[in-house]
């Protein structure tokens, strides 16, 4: 029980850190580009996996049901923010893109550019902008776009402010125009200012920063990027991300009164340190457990097992399991048996979980 309590305290520290980080971020204006993507799982501020009430495999199944297995952003113009409506389904704040960034870190999602658009360089987090057209001589916004078109049938040239699709008949010969593209030709287009009557080819185009009520020009554009988050291919086909396996097996270990530690570093007899993807020690101190995960489409061979043998021989755990969704080369199985490495092979989380349970239940 003692170790478990320690672990909870550690979680508390991580949580209080993350609230500080959040405070700093919000005072610095929330800017998606500024989000700190943590380098390792242990220093992450928080994660969908920790914060959501759903288990990893349920979350993955929910994302699988989305169009293109993708969590897409929604530009909420009323909030002037990019939101992720999916997050509301799992009880998280829709603006909490950090939780998605952590899912990327955990190897479950991939970040993709969704949209890139120009924003005000003074207010890059204010996303609502509009294009405005001005008269270059008097600066009025009361500018019309005009075009000349020739009705091929009668040869008359007509000036019009209408869009070509709105022109239904020729004002000279009154003939019905059914297909504008075929029946007419546009020899010229220009702008006309309704205030000063000036005609010009190029109107002054500016962008309007709606929230802060000012124009800005396009000479030094600042881009805003929004991102979508797509489920990793390997998860779409049913294979499991190692973080999901670690989290789910951790839960099983807890049921067997073994305290799990993900990505634990331990010192062996030789004095060397070893990193173990999932380590566990029973509450009574009698059992220790190590889990290694292999994913290699071409199959697991001796070299893969040799890499973990050093750790096993230096730390001598009571139970060692190797989890893989890949095939194992026949000779490699013999080596694993020799060193008492229990093989857990399966494509589905349910299979992996039941195999781990069976190993732990064995006397
Ligand atoms: Zn602005
Ligand atoms: Zn004008
Ligand atoms: Zn005509």
Residue-wise pLDDT for 327-351, tens only, equals: 888 889 999 999 999 999 887 778 8
What predicted TM-score, i.e. pTM, was given to this entire model?
0.55
One domain for residues 149 and 58: no
pLDDT for 9 beyond 50: no
Structural domain for 300, as ranges: 242-361
Ligand whose nearest atom lies closest to the CA of 152:
3
**pLDDT category, 12, cuts 50, 70, 90?**
very low
Ligand 3 ion: Cβ-proximal residues, 5 Å cutoff: 151, 154, 170, 172-173
Assign 3-class secondary structure to the chain: CHHHHHHHHHHHHHHHHHHHHHHHHHHCCCCHHHCCCCCCHHHCCCCHHHHCCCCHHHHHHHHHCCHHHEECCEEECCCCEEECHHHHHCCCCCCCHHHHHHHHHCCCEEEEEEEEEEECCCCCCCCCEEEEEECCCCCCCCEEEEEEEEECCCCCEEEECCCHHHCCECCCCCCECCCHHHHEEEEEEEEEECCCCCEECCCEEEEEECCCCEEECCCCCEEEEEEEEEECHHHHCCCCCHHHHHHHHHHHHHHCCEEEEEEEEEECCCCCEEEEEEEEEECCCCCEEEEEEECCCCCECHHHHHHHHHHHHHHCCCEEEEEECCCECHHHHHHHHHCCEEEEECCCHHHHHHHHHHHHHCC
Instruction: Indicate if 101 and 227 belong to the same structural domain.
Output: yes
Q: Which ligand sits closest to the CA of 123? A: 1
246 and 230 part of one domain: no
Same domain for 94 and 150, yes or no, is: no
Which pLDDT tens digit goes with each residue over 64-78? 889 999 999 999 988
**Residue at 212 is within a domain:** no
Ligand number nearest CA of 167 is 3
Mark whether 114 and 145 lie in a shared domain.
Answer: no
Q: How many domains does the chain have?
A: 3
pLDDT of amino acid 248: 86
Residue 257 inside a domain? The answer is yes
What is the rounded CA–CA span in Å between residue 149 and residue 16?
A: 68
Is residue 213 in some structural domain?
no
Same domain? 275 vs 340: yes
Question: pLDDT band for position 179 (50/70/90)?
Answer: very high
What is the predicted pLDDT for the residue at 244? Answer: 78
In a domain, 298, yes or no: yes
Instruction: With cut-offs at 50, 70 and 90, classify the pLDDT of residue 47.
Output: low
127-157 per-position pLDDT tens digit? 999 999 999 999 999 999 898 899 999 999 9
Residues 155 and 114 in one domain: no
- Between the CA of 140 and the centroid of ligand 1 the distance, in Å, is 21
Residue 94 lies in a domain: yes
Ligand 2 mean position to 180 CA, how many Å? 30
- For the stretch 217-230, pLDDT in tens is 888 789 999 999 99
Q: Is 215 a domain residue? A: no
In this structure, the answer to whether residues 100 and 227 fall within a common structural domain is yes
- Could you tell me if residue 261 is inside a domain? yes
Does 211 map to a domain? no
Evaluate if residue 48 carries a pLDDT over 90. Answer: no
Question: Are 247 and 302 found together in one domain?
Answer: yes
Q: Are residues 268 and 192 in the same domain?
A: no
Q: How confident is the model at residue 295 (pLDDT cuts 50, 70, 90)?
A: confident
Same domain, 9 and 92: yes
Kindly state whether residues 44 and 90 are assigned to the same domain: yes
With cut-offs at 50, 70 and 90, classify the pLDDT of residue 26.
very low
């Amino acid at each position: 029980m003692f170790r478990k309590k320690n672990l909870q305290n550690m979680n508390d520290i991580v949580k209080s850190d993350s609230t500080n980080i959040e405070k700093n971020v919000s005072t610095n204006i929330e800017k998606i580009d500024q989000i700190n993507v943590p380098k390792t799982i242990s220093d992450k501020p928080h994660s969908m996996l920790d914060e959501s009430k759903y288990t990893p495999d349920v979350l993955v199944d929910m994302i699988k049901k989305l169009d293109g297995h993708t969590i897409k952003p929604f530009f909420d113009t009323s909030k002037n923010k990019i939101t992720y409506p999916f997050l509301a389904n799992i009880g998280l704040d829709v603006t909490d893109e950090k939780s998605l960034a952590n899912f990327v870190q955990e190897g479950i999602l991939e970040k993709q550019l969704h949209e890139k658009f120009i924003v005000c360089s003074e207010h890059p987090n204010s996303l609502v902008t509009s294009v405005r057209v001005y008269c270059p001589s008097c600066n009025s916004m009361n500018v019309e776009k005009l075009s000349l078109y020739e009705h091929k049938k009668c040869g008359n040239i007509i000036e019009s402010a209408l869009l070509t699709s709105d022109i239904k008949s020729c004002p000279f010969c009154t003939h019905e125009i059914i297909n504008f593209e075929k029946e007419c030709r546009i020899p010229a287009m220009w702008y006309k200012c309704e205030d000063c009557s000036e005609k010009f080819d190029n109107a002054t185009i500016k962008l309007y920063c709606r929230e802060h009520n000012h124009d800005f020009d396009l000479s030094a554009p600042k881009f805003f990027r929004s991102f979508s988050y797509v489920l990793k291919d390997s998860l779409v086909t049913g294979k499991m991300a190692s973080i999901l396996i670690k989290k789910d097996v951790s839960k099983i270990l807890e049921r067997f009164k073994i305290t799990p530690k993900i990505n634990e570093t331990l010192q062996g007899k030789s004095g060397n340190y070893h990193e173990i993807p999932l380590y566990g020690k029973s509450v009574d101190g009698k059992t220790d457990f190590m889990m290694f995960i292999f994913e290699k489409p071409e199959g697991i061979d001796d070299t893969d097992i040799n890499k973990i043998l050093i750790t096993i021989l230096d730390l001598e755990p009571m139970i060692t399991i190797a989890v893989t969704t890949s095939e194992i080369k026949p000779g490699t199985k013999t080596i694993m048996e020799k060193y008492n490495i229990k093989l857990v092979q399966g494509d589905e989380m349910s299979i992996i979980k039941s195999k781990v349970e069976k190993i732990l239940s064995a006397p």
